[in-house]
Structure 1
Amino acid sequence: MIDLGYSLSRRFPDPPQMDYRTADVRTLRHDLFCGDVYLADTKTDRELSTAWGWVPVLDFAWALCDIVEQLDTDPRGNRSARPIHAELDFTESADRIFFERRFGWVDVDADWMAADEAPLTFNHSALRREARDFLHDLIADLTDMHDGLGDNPAIWDLQARFPRV
């Protein structure tokens, strides 16, 4: 079972004068909604999380959905033994999260995990579903907190590109 979550930082609040209706993609992805994120395997009671306070959570959700799709490029799908790799890098640091898909399973590892610690392993289909649910739930939370965000065309495009599964 996969659990994805976030918390917004009080140290890096969004600017009060921001017009969320017209914010461009770069601003939405990199300058707003800072906090921390986690990806947990509830079966093994292990998680991969940040504790920096400055991770753009919308960008994380967006990038995670992109990566899950990138991992699905082999036409053989779950039958493919060839590993497919992807990584998510954080713009404000050198830290990265690594993804490797083989057959129908995705291993998730990060720079800051101990060298002897095994990666988290998730079913690819479940990871796709949870990543998209996380994105839509996050957008719903953010639009409740920020007037006009739900009217932003970039948010509409994002929701259309990654519909709930």
Structure 2
Amino acid sequence: MTPTPPRSSFVTVLAWIFLLLCGFGSVIGLLQNLMVHTVMLPMMRNDPLHGEAMAQLPGPAALMFDAMPWFFLVTLAVSLLGVVASFGLLKRRPWGRRLFIALMGVLIAWQVAGFVFQLVLQRDIQATFAGSGMPPESGIVFVIMQVSIGLFATAFIGLFGWIIHRLTRPAIVAEFAP
């Protein structure tokens, strides 16, 4: 009988942190979906001015409103998947480690896509405001926002990449041996 490798505190703490975060995210996501599908969508469908208002929005903003129900559903699904992956990680299941690594990869892609979408959305919003008589110096606000969003995205990409790196180390992998 081979001895069981010691359980690292890294995996345990990581699993508990994400179990709590994804658990709270799932509850919030469930409430958001309930609100969007039972209140907001019916209200928007019954509003005769909704079509006119949507037609005046820049392309990315209109896309954001059109895709809002799907965005909230996907966010809920990712949170629920995070709960499952975190539980598998906590129980040292091989599928849990692989699922958690895949989830970190999805979250990295989510950060990149979100940053690119923000850049496109801000460009269109800035172009809309350019003709509204706002002072040219107000453009610095958009630059500050883009830099801030970029820094946050980079920090989360680095964190998720570091977690992937740690979960693929031989000592950690040995904890998940079947």
For the criterion TM > 0.5, the same-fold answer is no
Structure ranking higher in strand proportion: 1
More helix by share: 2
* Larger relative contact order (CA 8 Å, sep ≥ 6): 2
